[in-house]
Amino acid sequence: MQTKNVTVMKSTFKILFYLKKNEPKKNGHVVIMVRITVDGDQVQFSSKLDVHPDNWDTKLGRAVVNKQSAEKKENLRVSSLNKTLDEIRAAITMHYTRMMNTDGYALPEKIRNAFLGLEEKEKTLISYFTQHNEQYAKKVGKTATQKTYSRYELTKQRMIEFLKSEYNISDIPIKEITVTHIENFYLYLREQCEVSNNTAMKFVQRFHTILLFAQKSGLSFLDPFNNFRFNFDKTDRGYLTQEEIDTIYHKEFQSKRLEHVRDAFIFSCYTGLPYCDIYTLTAEDIKIGVDGKKWIMKDRGKTGVESLIPLLPIPLEILAKYEGKTKNGKLLPVISNQKMNEYLAEIAAICQINKRITYHLARHSFATEICLTKGVPIESVSKMLGHTNIQTTQIYARVVDRKLSHDMNVLERKLRTAQNGSSQKAG
């Protein structure tokens, strides 16, 4: 019998080809079986190949030419058979080596299943990624945005590249993912993809979302993220000052196109609604509140959380301006996000505002300049923004705190100057 011994990390690995002689076929051929042994544990399965016992060498575990026959056809068949057996051996050895390198151990059953393609595809990371993203795609335009969907697709692609680059595998069972895989994915993003810490953490967050999706789908496993700590760098959101908002609002544009874009943007500055929610805003989203005034009551497209926003005078004026003049039941003349951002850049240049104007900036301006700096409680701001966690809103408070500190320093200097002036007069 021919065996192949490979020792990796003190593990004994053997592959044996033998004949299943008790079930011969009508032509006298019998099936060639494969036996995999790791540290004494065995598993066997059919190779789907067959050979006549007269053409088999038990000691070598290979097909041989019957000495009583010198047919060229038989020689070719034997040669082809042995080539296939060599390919089987090589493939099995590859799966064994991969498992030892990634997991530190290899079970005969797992090696067999990997070779036969019997690994539970529905329970692997990339398959769950695909399933999640396909479901998410159906929500685009309803409760989800194309931008977020694209980010999940990019995360899936980066994960595929990572598994190939770091482990030379195309997929990995969910249950085999460890905190080491998470940390290595983060390092891969930072070093190979050259992204910032916060961007890498966002990718890792989406990775975690897929594992949570797998759990909700019924897969039972220990979440490796329990041993992983997310570490975002604190950043402050930019915003427009009240003066800059007023400059844009009162600017007269020669182009109706820029006027429409400006109006929709200013509407966002005074409501905090992101582009996707302004794009889908209809009369059904405007309701009368307990105070008898008009409010926006709309589920956020991104999170599904309801935003409750009182309509201030300026957004009311904008709605009145376009009443009955828009199509498809929309309240505002909103074009594609890409074109919108192009025109907003043009507006910034015309208004001489040296900031990258986007709907994100409008939303940040609403939270910071329109609300928090004017005394609106952060709990109310969080509700209006449709945040699921008030901690998300806290980032705006840091901006306000610095502004308050700056204002108080200015006040302190003025008081000191006034005091010094009084002292001089008294002297």
Question: Last residue of a domain, which of 70, 87, 116?
Answer: 116
- Are 263 and 396 in the same domain? yes
Give the number of other Cβ atoms within 10 Å of residue 415's Cβ: 10
Q: What is the CATH number of the domain that holds 273?
A: 1.10.443.10
- Whether the per-residue pLDDT at 406 is higher than 80: the answer is no
Give the mean model confidence (pLDDT) for residues 179-184: 94
pTM of the model: 0.48
CA dist list (Å): 284 to 81, 301, 308: 72, 15, 13
Phi, psi dihedrals of residue 409, rounded to the nearest 5°: -65, -40
- Are 162 and 86 in the same domain? no
Show the domain range for 139.
121-227
pLDDT in tens, 217-229: 888 888 999 989 9
Question: Last residue of a domain, which of 116, 150, 174?
Answer: 116
CA dist list (Å): 337 to 74, 321, 330, 404: 69, 22, 15, 34
Number of domains in the chain: 3
- Whether the per-residue pLDDT at 391 is higher than 90: the answer is no
CA dist list (Å): 4 to 46, 297, 403: 18, 70, 73
Question: Last residue of a domain, which of 227, 261, 292?
Answer: 227
pLDDT in tens, 245-285: 999 999 999 999 999 999 999 999 999 998 888 888 999 99
The answer as to whether 287 is a domain residue is yes
pLDDT in tens, 48-107: 999 988 889 998 899 887 665 556 667 778 888 999 999 999 999 998 998 888 767 788
- Are 101 and 134 in the same domain? no
Give the number of other Cβ atoms within 10 Å of residue 318's Cβ: 20
- Are 23 and 51 in the same domain? yes
Reported as a pLDDT band with limits 50, 70 and 90, residue 1 is: very low
